[in-house]
Amino acid sequence: MRDGVTFVVWAQEHRQRIEGVLERVLPAAHAPAARLAAAMRYSTLGGGKRVRPLLVYAASAISDADPARADARAAAVELIHAYSLIHDDLPCMDDDALRRGKPTCHVAFDVATALLAGDALQSLAFAVLGQDAATSGDDACRLLADAAGYAGMAGGQQLDLDATGAALDADSLAQLHSMKTGALIRAAVQLGARCGRALAPAEARALDRYAAAAGLAFQVVDDVLDVEGSNASLGKTAGKDAAQGKATFVTLLGLEHAKARVRTLRAEARAALEPFGRAADRLAELADWIVLRTS
């Protein structure tokens, strides 16, 4: 609890906040190219854990920032995430039919529209962030571009495709996910923390350690839930990784050792936040939520 507000209440308030921001920046349902606008809104609004925007808002407390300064950055990160999910579900990638408890974008619309929706969401993310960066003067666009591109999410997705049916060790799998999943989580933390005062280099490094541990924990928990969860609880197809012959932390380490890895990563994330004191309470609570979630 911070300032008399529980984490559950804080998270719900900020999920509602980012929903409103996304509603404002997305094209209206009656806009030209209405089918594309509808696909973008369908894939972005009204669902998801909003982990990445929550990380932006939580990290903004590190630099004593006004939460309003974090809105554009939180929206940009979530738009990138939404685009990545659309493309990840396409027949040429994971070929999934269920996302957030409803048909995936290419199933609800069609493959061509889904491809365009992902492209348009990515462009919109940088338009939203660019307006913010123009007034703040920092390198926010470069930071997000690196996280989404070759050295981050896109490169990680290629490694994931290459690894299907191949033998990987735990270190190689961690590297894959540090790009595919972790890069955007690290960007979310840095973007939020840079909303206010300038960070000292040691502070930026500590936040990177936190984000790296929390991001990998998120993926290991996903692997555990892929085994223990159901389509209904996860909102997506359970057991898909095993069916596609993909290495996971559960297949490499075993279920109990994977859970032990999560506990270690949680401790690493919390330890990285110690220099920030109470300002990092929400980040610490998010690390706890990531490892304790059931969906």
List per-block mean pLDDT (blocks of 10 residues) for the chain, which spans 295 residues.
Answer: 86 96 94 94 93 97 90 97 96 91 95 98 95 72 96 94 86 94 96 93 97 96 87 68 81 94 97 96 97 88
- The reported pLDDT for the residue numbered 285 is 97
- The reported pLDDT for the residue numbered 134 is 58
- The reported pLDDT for the residue numbered 212 is 97
- The reported pLDDT for the residue numbered 245 is 74
- Distance between CA atoms of residues 84 and 102, nearest Å: 17
Exposed/middle/buried for 90, CB within 10 Å: 0-12, 13-18, 19+?
Answer: middle
Quote the Cα angle for 291-279-208, to 5°.
Answer: 55
- The reported pLDDT for the residue numbered 291 is 93
**pTM listed for this prediction:** 0.94
Task: Please say whether the beta carbons of 114 and 95 come within 8 A.
Answer: no
* Domains along the sequence of the chain with CATH: 7-292 (1.10.600.10)
